[in-house]
C-alpha cells in the first residue's frame, strides 16, 4: 500500500534521555527492551543521533534491527516514516536519546516535542540525594512542550539512598524508581581493548564507546541482569494498561523516506558491492544497506578477520570499525590484501570510511607507541591518540553532491593521497579547516567522514563506481 494512504497508528513509546552522556541510558534502554521482550512483546528500539555501538545492545535485547533518528542527519521525513512503520508491528517503541536531553541542534528534546513522545530521564544518582529532584525538575521544565514520563535514578547505593532520592523528587516529576549499580560478574568475558575499572562494568567500554554486544558471548546474560534489576522498580512493574498512557499517535509520512525505491533512481542496478563486515568493520547503519539495495545493488558481505577472500564484485565498501585492534589478523589475510590490490588496479571503485581507510593505509602507530602494518594500498600512516581527533555532525561536499553524516575518531592520518574536498559542520560554510578530508587515490575514495547514504544517494552511487556522464546529470552504471 502507498505510504501516502496509510492511517495514523497508536503505540506506546518512550524517549529515554539523561542530563549528559555516561548516565546509563543505554544500559537501561536495553534492559527495558529485554524486560518487555521476555514478557512476549514486540519491541522496536531506535537511537537518536549517529551511533554504531549502542544499537548492537538494543538489537540483542529486542531481537530487531535498530535505526538512527536525527532531525538533521536522517531528516524528519525518514524519522516519521520509520516510526510509523514500527508502530504498525511493534507493541512498544523505545528511543534512546543522545548526550543530554537538550544537547545538540536539533536535540533529542526537539524530536520528542515534534512527535509528542513521552520523555523518561535516567540520572546517575551516585553522590547525590535530594539534588536529583532539582535535576529532574530542570530537565522537565527547561523548555515547554515536553510530554513528561518521569525520572529513573541509576547507580543507587542502597535502599536508604533510594528513599532519600525519592524524597527530593516533586510529585509532577513522576518517580519511576531506583536501580542499584550493576556490575558484571568477576568471571565475565573480557573484550579486546575494553577499559579496565575496579568493578567490571556491566556493558564494557573502550575508546569509541561501548563494546559491541556480538563481541561478548555473555551479552544476553548481562542484559538479563539489567532487566532483573529494572523489574523491581515502579517502571518495571507498571501494568501494560498503564503503558497505554504513553501511547503516541504516529502519523504517516507526507513523503516517502529518501532511501525507499520510489524516491530513487536505479543508479546501482546490476552492480555487485562487496561489504566488509566483522569486528574490524562493524560501523554499518542498517539503513545504509537498505539504501544500496534500493539503488539496485546486490550486496555480498564478507569477513576479512575470518580469512575470507574478496567476493566477485564491481565495487568494495570498507566501513569503519576497529582495524587497530585486529591489525595482525588483517595483515595475515594476505590473499585478501592481494585481491583488494587487484580490484584497485583494475580501476574498480572502493569507498573506505574511517577505520576502513586506516585498514588500507601503510600502518598505524597505536596508543602505546607500537607500529602495526596494514594493507598499504593507500599512501599514508596513521597515529592513534588519547584525545578525540574528530567528533560531531558533518556534511561533505563531493563532486556529485553533498552528503550528511558525522565524524568520531581518535586517529590521525598523514597521507599524500589527492584531497578532493573537506567536510564541515552544519553551521559552517564549506572550506572550514576543522573538517575531514575526502581523499582520492586512483579508484579509491576515502575519508574519516561517515556518510548517511540516503542524504544524497547519487553521490554514494558515484563513490561506488556509477558514472555521472550524461548531460542531464543522471548516473549511468
Active site residue ranges: 354
Strand partners, 381: 363, 414
The torsion angles phi and psi of 272, rounded to 5 degrees, stand at -105, 125
- Distance in angstroms (rounded) separating the CA atoms of residues 476 and 267: 6
Q: Please name the residue that has the C-alpha cell 595482525.
A: 328
Stated as kind and residue range, the H or E segment containing 391 is strand 390-398
Q: What three-state secondary structure class fits 214? A: helix
Contacts of 275 (CB under 8 A, 6+ apart): 284, 289, 299, 300, 301, 302, 316, 317, 319
Query: Which cell is 309 given?
Result: 577472500
Peptide bond into 23 cis (omega under 30): no
Q: Which residues contact 280 (CB under 8 A, 6 or more apart)?
A: 304, 305, 321, 322, 323, 325, 326, 329, 330, 355, 359
Taking the C-alpha atoms of residue 284 and residue 68, their distance in angstroms, rounded to an integer, is 11
Distance CA 209, CA 211 (A): 7
Cα of first residue to Cα of last residue in the chain, in angstroms, is 30
Cα dihedral sign for 99, 104, 109, 114?
negative
Cβ proximity of 68 and 257 under 8 Å: no
C-alpha grid cell for residue 37? 521482550
Percent helix / strand / coil, the chain, rounded to 5: 30, 25, 40
DSSP class of residue 173 equals: G
CA distance 79 to 447: 26
Alpha helices per DSSP H over 352-419: 355-360
CA angle in degrees (0–180, nearest 5) for 296-300-305: 150
Nearest to 68 by CA among 36, 103, 104, 98: 98
Amino acid at each position: 500500500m502507498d505510504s501516502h494512504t496509510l492511517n495514523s497508528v497508536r503505540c506506546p513509546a518512550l524517549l529515554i534521555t539523561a542530563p549528559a552522556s555516561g548516565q546509563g541510558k543505554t544500559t537501561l534502554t536495553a534492559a527495558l527492551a529485554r524486560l518487555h521482550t521476555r514478557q512476549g512483546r514486540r519491541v522496536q528500539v531506535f537511537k537518536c543521533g549517529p551511533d554504531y555501538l549502542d544499537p548492537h545492545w538494543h538489537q540483542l535485547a529486542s531481537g530487531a534491527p535498530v535505526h538512527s533518528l536525527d532531525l538533521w542527519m536522517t531528516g524528519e521525513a525518514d524519522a516519521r516514516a520509520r516510526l510509523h512503520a514500527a508502530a504498525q508491528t511493534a507493541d512498544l517503541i523505545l528511543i534512546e536519546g543522545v548526550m543530554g536531553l537538550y544537547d545538540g541542534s536539533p536535540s533529542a528534546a526537539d524530536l520528542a516535542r515534534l512527535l509528542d513522545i513521552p520523555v523518561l530521564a535516567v540520572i546517575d544518582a551516585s553522590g547525590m540525594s535530594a539534588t536529583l529532584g532539582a535535576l529532574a525538575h530542570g530537565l522537565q521544565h527547561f523548555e515547554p512542550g515536553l510530554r513528561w514520563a518521569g525520572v529513573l535514578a541509576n547507580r543507587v547505593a542502597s535502599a536508604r539512598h533510594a528513599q532519600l532520592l525519592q524524597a527530593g523528587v516533586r510529585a509532577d516529576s513522576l518517580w519511576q524508581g531506583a536501580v542499584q549499580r550493576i556490575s558484571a560478574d568477576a568471571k565475565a568475558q573480557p573484550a579486546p581493548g575494553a577499559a579496565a575499572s575496579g568493578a567490571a562494568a556491566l556493558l564494557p567500554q573502550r575508546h569509541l564507546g561501548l563494546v559491541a554486544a556480538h563481541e561478548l558471548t555473555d551479552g544476553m546474560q548481562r542484559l538479563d541482569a539489567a532487566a532483573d534489576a529494572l523489574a523491581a522498580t515502579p517502571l518495571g512493574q507498571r501494568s501494560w494498561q498503564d503503558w497505554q498512557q504513553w501511547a503516541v499517535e504516529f502519523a504517516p509520512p507526507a513523503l516517502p523516506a529518501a532511501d525507499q525505491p520510489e524516491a530513487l533512481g536505479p543508479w546501482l542496478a546490476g552492480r555487485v558491492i562487496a561489504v566488509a563486515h566483522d569486528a574490524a568493520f562493524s560501523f554499518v547503519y542498517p539503513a545504509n544497506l537498505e539504501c544500496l539495495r534500493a539503488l539496485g545493488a546486490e550486496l555480498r558481505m564478507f569477513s576479512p578477520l575470518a580469512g575470507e577472500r574478496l567476493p566477485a564484485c564491481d565495487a568494495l565498501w570498507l566501513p569503519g570499525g576497529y582495524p587497530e585492534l585486529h591489525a595482525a589478523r588483517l595483515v595475515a589475510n594476505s590473499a585478501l590484501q592481494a585481491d583488494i590490490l587487484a580490484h584497485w588496479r583494475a580501476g574498480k571503485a572502493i569507498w573506505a570510511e574511517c577505520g576502513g581507510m586506516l585498514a588500507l593505509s601503510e600502518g598505524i602507530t597505536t596508543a602505546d607507541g607500537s607500529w602495526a602494518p596494514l594493507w598499504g594500498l593507500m599512501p599514508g600512516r596513521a597515529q592513534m591518540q588519547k584525545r578525540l581527533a574528530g567528533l560531531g555532525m558533518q556534511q561533505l561536499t563531493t563532486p556529485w553532491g553533498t552528503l550528511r553524516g558525522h565524524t568520531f575518531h581518535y586517529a590521525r592520518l598523514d597521507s599524500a593521497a589527492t584531497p578532493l574536498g573537506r567536510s564541515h559542520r552544519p553551521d559552517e560554510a564549506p572550506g572550514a579547516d576543522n573538517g575531514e578530508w575526502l581523499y582520492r587515490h586512483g579508484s579509491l575514495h576515502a575519508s574519516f567522514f561517515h556518510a548517511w547514504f540516503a542524504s544524497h544517494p547519487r553521490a554514494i552511487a558515484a563513490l561506488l563506481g556509477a558514472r555521472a556522464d550524461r548531460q542531464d546529470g543522471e548516473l549511468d552504471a
